[in-house]
């Protein structure tokens, strides 16, 4: 497995690569995000869509990290809290208010 260790525009330092003990540079475009103090990146060729948060439909007896599912144009998509799935502490979600919200 290769782990993201640092992120620059267009280049990612990863380690440890399978064939050596040093770091390797990987060129490409990545969608980067943070979970706690750790940075992660996903090759944009593996990202289908980025959407704002919508409350998912809960599923009974689902694990804590499984927030529920969304119906995305007829496809049922599972919504997973990566913090909980990776064993990190739960984070408070700050949802933006939309026009007409009173809370």
The CA angle 63-5-11, to the nearest 5 degrees, is: 115
Q: What is the pLDDT of residue 24?
A: 58
Here the CATH number for the domain that contains residue 84 is 2.40.50.180
Q: Are residues 7 and 41 in the same domain?
A: yes
Q: Are residues 55 and 87 in the same domain?
A: yes
30 contacts 7 by C-beta, under 8 angstroms: yes
- Report the number of distinct structural domains present in the chain: 2
CA–CA separation, 1 vs 17, rounded Å?
A: 8
Q: Are residues 36 and 19 in the same domain?
A: yes
Tell me the CA end-to-end span of the chain in Å, nearest whole number: 44
Q: Which of the residues in the chain have pLDDT under 70? A: 1-26, 93-103
Q: What is the pLDDT of residue 30?
A: 85
Q: What is the pLDDT of residue 4?
A: 45
Q: Are residues 56 and 40 in the same domain?
A: no
CA–CA separation, 88 vs 81, rounded Å?
A: 10
- Which range of residues forms the domain containing residue 76? 51-91
Q: Are residues 38 and 59 in the same domain?
A: no
């Amino acid at each position: 497995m290769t782990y993201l260790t640092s992120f620059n525009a267009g280049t990612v330092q990863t380690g440890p690569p399978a064939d050596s003990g040093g770091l390797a540079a990987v060129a490409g475009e990545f969608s980067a995000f943070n979970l706690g103090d750790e940075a992660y990146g996903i090759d944009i060729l593996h990202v289908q869509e980025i959407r704002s948060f919508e409350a998912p439909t809960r599923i009974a007896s689902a694990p804590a990290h499984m927030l529920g599912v969304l119906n995305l144009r007829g496809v049922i998509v599972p919504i997973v809290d990566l913090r909980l799935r990776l064993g990190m502490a739960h984070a408070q979600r700050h949802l933006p208010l939309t026009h007409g919200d009173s809370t």
